[in-house]
Homo-oligomer: A and B are copies of this chain.
Amino acid sequence: MAFFTKRYHPPGTSPGTLIEKAPSTTAMPLQIHLIDYNADEITIRDNVDASDCRVYLQRKSMTWVHVQGQPTELALRELGESFQLHSLAMEDVLNSGQRPKVEPFDDQLFIVMSLPLMKADIVNVQQVSIFLNKNFLVSFYDGDFSLFQPIVKRLQDRGSRLRAKGVDFLLYGLLDLVIDQGFPVLEKFGLQLEELEEQILEVAGSVTLEKIHILKRELILLRRMLWPQREVINQLLRGDHKLIRDDTLVYLRDCYDHTIQVMDLLETYRDMTGSMLDIYLSSVSNRMNDIMRVLTVIATIFIPLTFIVGVYGMNFDRNAGPLSMPELGWPYGYLLVWLGMIVIAVLMLTFFRRRGWL
Contact = CB atoms under 8 A, between A and B. Distances in A.
A220 B267 CA distance: 10
B12 A151 contact: yes
B289 A4 contact: no
Contacts of A105: 250
Which DSSP category, helix, strand, loop or mixed, fits chain A's interface?
helix
Nearest to A87: B161
Contacts of A346: none
A254 B88 CA distance: 8
Interface string A278-301: 111111111011011101111110
Interface residues of A, number: 124
B335 A331 contact: no
A300 B257 CA distance: 61
B310 A257 contact: no
Interface in A60-99: 86, 88, 98-99
Given A99-B264, A312-B315, A4 B282 contact: no
Contact of A272 (B3, B279, B322): B3
B257 A11 contact: no
B257 A184 contact: no
Nearest to A310: B309
Contact of A217 (B101, B154, B272, B282): B272
B224 A264 contact: yes
A176 to B, nearest CB: 7
A272 B313 contact: no
A299 to B, nearest CB: 5
Interface in A186-202: 186-187, 189-191, 193-194, 197, 201
Contacts of A295: 296-297, 299-300, 357
